[in-house]
Chains A and B, each alone.
Chain A
Amino acid sequence: MEAASVPAPRRSAAEGAREIVSKYGLIAVLMLLPVVYGIQDLSEDGDLTRLGNNLLDGLSNGSIWALVAIGYTLVYGIIELINFAHGDVFMIGSFVAVGVWGAVGVTRGSGTLALVGGLFVTLLVAMVAASSLNVMIERVAYRPLRNAPKLAPLITAVGFSFILQNVGLLWLGGSPEGVPDLIRSQKEIANVGGVSVSRGDVLSIGAMIPLVLLLTTFISRSRMGKAMRATAQDPEAARLMGINVDTTISFTFLLGGLMAGAAGLIYALYQTTVWYFQGFTAGLVAFTAAVMGGIGNLKGAVLGGLIIGCIQQISDNRIGAEWTPAVVFGYLVLIMVFRPQGLVGEETREAG
């Protein structure tokens, strides 16, 4: 009798533990770095200035990843495909931006008005270039394989990623290329309790927020946005309701490309270097961000991007920049272990 009654409560305890782990495990893992280094700062310096600086830099870096991650999450949400070439579309966006501002004639000496105007034109051109590239890739590499096994489009995506990297390699050469620091991104414009706010921080966070707001409004209000959500839920049913699924998918790639182009410009202004391999790293980081937030979820992608940015910055500053990729990918693996559906995502078939 004893033996029969013992397993029941034990099993429920194990289930409870598993529930707690899946609910809070990821959050605990994410808090690990900031908390450890926060305590270290408090005991060594007596304040949290260094951690604050790390986090601010992380947020502005993360804004770029957030914009790229949106492209992944939109595409994955609608056709369940990892658009491997997306990071390289972002890289091409950067290159176009650098080319365009050179052509428009914006230099460090330009006046404020000319600078803002020139950069606005650059932003538009970069966004349009990246989005048309993304739509073209979808048309050539993914649409013919819509009914093929899932492996096939993933391989063509990798193929296109290589092609774009080669384009970048031929365009600006094999080593990181310095670009003019147009906005003097390191210049401090405010100091909040020891945390220095630079122009780059303001630019990248200030550009990301309106873009994301525009995008969410578009997706939740417009007719096309409605079609996108319907297609994401059930392509077959959407088709039956008279939605042109192919156009909707193309449009999703277009939106992702727009965000990647904007991110490309911000990256060039903020980091002041571009090179052909930036897209590969950015792609993996942004994909990690999208998964962390819960893939298919727009808010999740932004949240994930910001968090990954902070992790990267802390790791760059404390552990060593050469280990940062390993730290980020380590986090990716941990997310997969603890909460494959992401921070705000729902369970999907893949992550079940």
Chain B
Amino acid sequence: MTDQARRIVLVIVGSAIALYIFDSIQMDPVMGWVVIALAIARVFLADRRIAPLLSVAILAWAIVLPLFHDAGQGFIDDANIYLAMVVMALGLNIVVGFAGLLDLGYVAFFAVGAFSMGWFGSSFFANINDGNGLHIFVAERLGEQPGIHANFLLVVVAAIILTALAGAIIGLPTLRLRGDYIAIVTLAFGEIIGRVAINGDGVGLGNGETLTGGRQGITPVDKIQLPGGEPFQALNLRPWYWTALGMVLIVLFVNFRLRDSRLGRAWIALREDEVAAASMGVPLVKTKLLAYATGAAFGGIAGAFLASYNNTVNADQFAFYFSIVVLASVILGGLGSVWGCVVGGITLAFINFTFIPDIARDWPQDLGLDFDMSEVFFAIFGFLLVIMMVLRPEGLIPERRRKLELTEGIGAGDTALGGGETIEEVRA
């Protein structure tokens, strides 16, 4: 397939999905069409001036979007989870995409972030301070409850610190390893943390407290409360949405700045050739551990948000499957590509949380078949992974530099990935 043909397919598929979404949830039409028109223009007219316009349009559209929807359910409810998944994908992108360290245990950081919220923002530690609780910058009406209740910003700071530490600890044993071995060690850590979450109700911390809530989970969890404001409501989801959007924007900003920083270039050098990077003076240990810690911190932020949003820290959430969903969104978007992560994160979250459980659920019955879509959930997901890798291993929006790496060894005459030949010859 030529480059142009690929673009056309991409646009057709993209518009079909967009139209489907528009149709099913009656989105605000004007802004949406502006965004789609600009996106098509961006794909076909290789004009650099369109890109900033497109970004502004998407941002404006994203901000006003919740005003056109029911505040208590439906689209906004889904969108909040999508945004949290985008934050996770952006975090994992630092580890896998930038630094090239394959991480199959990202769920560990989701768990640590969620437990930070559970520990510091609920009545879970009921006996602390003789049952009177600790309250740090929270609304008056929480004042009666036992347990630790901290302001959401403080919880996020705690989550960042804890997950970054966890990331560095998980990174330590992998320092001497490469490739698949790193994948297995991170997978093992993910499973260990999942086990600890499930069995943690048997681990006493003294004073009658346990480490986790076990399978029963920790519930209820405090609603998000930002400094100077009231806690969010369960029935008005718009503030949650704007908080999540703000999170995504901050993380995006950090991602771009990091990518272009000295550290980001060190990560990319590491990904391309570890030995060469080391001999050029890149400190391997520090660079790798920082990649793990930064990527983990993003997962922690999203984890804390999701714990508060879902109102529970449920140990059964922290399964291998979740790591694969996040990894798949990074790969679908294009490893190392920041915008790709946004697209991939939203797409996979849509497939995972809306499309299969809600939209496609009744299709088999409509066709007269006797099974439920949720029963073949894993098969569909697995099938998508296989198809995705076989058809487009470089992802939807491949990072330019990464694309060059991928075309190496396939042959300079291969035009399938487009535009790579000349530069590759220079590199060779």
Q: List chain A positions with a Cβ less than 8 A from chain B.
A: 80-82, 140-141, 144-145, 147-156, 158-163, 165-167, 169-170, 280, 284, 287-288, 291, 320, 322-323, 325-326, 329-330, 332-333, 336-337, 340, 349-352
Contacts and interface: CB of A to CB of B under 8 A. Distances in A.
- Interface size class on chain B is 35 or more
Nearest to B187: A284
27 contacts: A80-B180, A148-B406, A151-B102, A152-B389, A153-B389, A154-B102, A154-B180, A155-B388, A159-B381, A159-B382, A162-B379, A162-B382, A163-B386, A280-B320, A284-B188, A287-B184, A288-B188, A291-B184, A322-B195, A326-B195, A326-B199, A329-B189, A329-B195, A333-B192, A336-B173, A340-B181, A350-B179
B331 interface: yes
Contact of A326 (B196, B375, B386, B393): B196
Majority-rule SS of A interface residues:
helix
Majority-rule SS of B interface residues:
helix
A163 to B, nearest CB: 4
Nearest to A349: B178
Interface of B: 102, 173-174, 176-181, 183-185, 187-189, 191-192, 195-196, 198-199, 320, 324, 327-328, 331, 335, 371, 375-379, 381-386, 388-390, 393, 405-406, 409-410
B112 to A, nearest CB: 16
Contacts of B179: 150, 350
A133 to B, nearest CB: 14
Contacts of B410: 147
Contact of A145 (B198, B331, B393): B393
Nearest to A323: B199
A325 B320 CA distance: 13
B385 A159 contact: yes
Nearest to B411: A147
Given A149-B405, A170-B371, A323-B199, 6 more contacts: A140-B386, A160-B386, A162-B385, A284-B191, A333-B173, A352-B178
Contacts of B196: 326
A145 B383 CA distance: 15
Given A144-B390, A322-B199, A329-B192, A155 B320 contact: no
Nearest to A151: B102
Q: Which of A153, A154, A349 has the most CB of B within 10 A?
A: A154
Contact of A158 (B173, B181, B385): B385
Contacts of A287: 184
A170 B184 contact: no
Contact of B382 (A158, A170, A322, A350): A158
Given A156-B386, A169-B375, A325-B195, A148 B181 contact: no
